[in-house]
Every structure is written in C-alpha cells, then in structure tokens.
Amino acid sequence: MDTKELLKKVRKIEIKTRRLSDHLFGGEYHSTFKGRGMTFSEVRQYQFGDDVRAIDWNVTARYNEPFVKVFEEERELTMMLLVDVSGSELFGTANQFKKEVVTEISATLAFSAMQNNDKVGLILFSDEVELFIPPKKGKSHVLRIIRELLEFEPKSLKTDIAEALKFLMNVMKKRAIVFVLSDFIAENYADTLRIVGNKHDATGIRVYDEKEEYIPNLGLIQVQDAETGKLQLVNTSSKEVRHNYWRYHSERVDYFNEAFTKSGNGIISCRVDESYVKKLLGYFKRRG
C-alpha cells in the first residue's frame, strides 16, 4: 500500500469512526468506565445534608465554622487494544473482511478514549506479539494506531491469545481498560484471562462471519487453512463432516463465552454484516 493510498484510508476511517465516537460513544464510554478513585479537589463551607465524615477539622478549627472536603473522580484511564492479526482475520463473505470491522471498532474505541483525555495503547498479536505501541494521548497517536491496523503485515498467521495476554500483564502494571478483538477461533487462554481479569477491566469482542459457522453441502472441495496454509480435500456432502465442523466451531464460541464471563469480564459478539455501533452502544448501556 503506497503512502497516498494509506493516508486516504486512514482519513476515511477517521471521518467515520470519529463521528461515531463524538456523537454516540463519548458519554457512554465516560459513564461505563470509571476512574481509579476519588481525589481531593477543594474545601467549602458545610451545607445542610453534607456527610459529617467529610468535615475538614483543621480548616473548621481555623475558621471556627464547619468546612467539608470535596472530592472528584480521578478520570484518567488507559485503554489497551489487543488486536488479532492472524490469517483467519482475512476472511469475509459479506461486505467486509473481519480485519476491516476490527479496525473500525478499534478506531471508534480509540477516539472515544481520546475524547475523554485517556491514553490508548495497541498490541498486535498472532501466535506472538507482533507489535506493541505504548499508551499515549492525542490525535496523532490515535492516527498512528489506525495506520498500523491498516498496513501491518504479521510475521505469523497463527493465533495464541494467551501469549498476548501474558505480554499485557508484563507491560501494564497499572489497571487498564482492555479490549481483545479477535474471531476467537482458539482455546487455552482461559487461565491467563482469569489473571488479567483480576487486575484489568477486560472485554472480548468476537468478530465473525456467518459462513464460518457451518459448511454448506458443495460436494468434494479443496479448502485451505488460513493460519497454516495447508490444503485439504473435504467431502462436504457428508453429514458427519458438516456436523463435526459445526461442533468444532460451536465449541470455540462456547469457550470464548465461558472464558470471559467466568473470569468476570465482558463479551461482545459482532457478525461482519451486523452493526457494530448497536453492539457497542448496547454493551456500554448495560454496563453504565
């Protein structure tokens, strides 16, 4: 992708997702994800109904009338986007690939964080951590994240979600808002996710294509594994073959749902031909 084409794509995504974050998600994001606690702001004269536990006794003694401490929420947060860039993300039978939807969702979340003056960081992963962008504030930083989401070419096409979660725990010592974006056609990450959930506020966003859920009856066909490149002849006219595939996919979805909910984390499932706007808004409203 040449520079001119890349900048054009970045601008297109910026216009679309910035508008969404400004008009739809700004307030929802703010009310959903809370700050780290309360910080002292000022003192003022006691008013009827104030909590007596908030009285500042030093100031009260000095002025010989009651004053109370006023606290405000410490708002600044850090958002980390963990984005799957493995081979299976380059699939889509509707209008968009899964990767394109993941990029738009990531950009919308990043602009929502920027609007609230929060830091945003990015981890791109396959079966290894491909790229780490430490969290920072500002529009130029968010645009850099979008550029990487658009043009980054991973070294590996395989997936290891646990590896990305372990890396997150090593680099993020303070609590963060974490979004993991993947198709979650993987397993063996539940234990690591449980550890992440004890420290961070994590949400899994599963982006999938309807045609991944089953194999149609097309007779004998050649298929290729997107993550290994292996070619294989599959007899799709066999009910057993179609059922085994459906069961395998269903088990991965069940694993995703159970891994996140049992560890106290949130989940969003979004098909590529569905509105991710409605999915995100619904999730924010339920949590707010």
Range scoring the smallest mean pLDDT among 12-16, 21-25, 109-113, 121-125: 21-25
Same structural domain for residues 98 and 175? Answer: yes
pLDDT of residue 215: 83
Calculate the CA dihedral of residues 276, 262, 284, 277 and round it to 10 degrees.
0
- pLDDT band of 1, cuts 50, 70, 90: low
pLDDT, residue 69, reads: 84
User: Which tokens belong to 180?
Assistant: 């993991």
Give SS3 for 225: coil
Q: Mark which of 74, 92, 126 sits at the end of a domain.
A: 74
Nearest to 252 by CA among 194, 204, 183, 196: 183
If we measure between CA atoms, which residue out of 170, 173, 171, 175 comes closest to residue 197?
Answer: 175
Strands 119-125 and 129-136, by their bridges, are: antiparallel
Q: Are residues 100 and 236 in the same domain?
A: yes
CATH number at 128 reads: 3.40.50.410
Whole-model pTM above 0.85?
no
pLDDT classification of 203: cutoffs 50, 70, 90 = very high
Is the Cα dihedral 35, 175, 135, 19 positive or negative?
negative
Top mean-pLDDT range of 17-26, 163-172, 220-229? 163-172
Number of domains into which the chain is organized: 2
CB 257 within 8 A of CB 204: no
CB-facing half-sphere around the CA of 109: CA atoms within 13 A: 31
What pLDDT score was predicted for residue 263? 94
Do both 24 and 151 map to the same domain? Answer: yes
Kindly state whether residues 144 and 133 are assigned to the same domain: yes
Report the alpha-carbon distance of residue 83 to residue 1 in Å, rounded.
20
> Are residues 45 and 147 located together in one domain of the fold?
no
Q: Which of 74, 100, 128 is the last residue of a domain?
A: 74
Tell me, yes or no, whether 167 and 213 share the same domain.
yes
Residue where a domain stops, chosen among 74, 99, 130: 74
Claim to verify: residue 97 and residue 236 sit in the same structural domain: yes
Q: Are residues 26 and 163 in the same domain?
A: yes
CA–CA distances in Å: residue 258 to residues 41, 89, 189, 254, 267: 42, 22, 11, 6, 10
> Residue 66 is part of which domain span?
37-74
At 192, is the secondary structure helix, strand, or coil?
helix
Going by pLDDT thresholds of 50, 70 and 90, the confidence category of residue 38 is low
Inter-CA distances, 155 with 44, 87, 131, Å: 59, 10, 10
Report in angstroms the alpha-carbon separations of 96 from 103, 272, 277: 11, 7, 15
Among 168, 159, 225, 212, which Cα is nearest to 187's?
159
Give tens-digit pLDDT for 40-51. 567 888 888 888
Domain co-membership, 9 together with 42:
no
The amino acid present at 97, given as its one-letter code, is F
Domain shared by 23 and 41, yes or no: no
Angle between helices 139-151 and 3-20 (to 10 degrees): 120
SS3 271: strand
pLDDT digits (tens, 9 = 90+) for 66-122: 988 876 555 578 999 999 999 888 776 667 889 999 999 999 999 988 888 899 999
pLDDT tens-place string over residues 127-160: 999 999 999 999 999 999 999 999 999 999 999 9
Name every residue whose Cβ is closer than 8 Å to that of residue 255 and which is 6 or more positions away in sequence. 184, 187, 190
Q: Are residues 43 and 122 in the same domain?
A: no
φ and ψ at 197, to 5 degrees?
A: -65, -25
Do 107 and 216 sit in the same domain of this protein? yes
Q: Which amino acid is at 197?
A: G
User: How high is the pLDDT of residue 104?
Assistant: 92
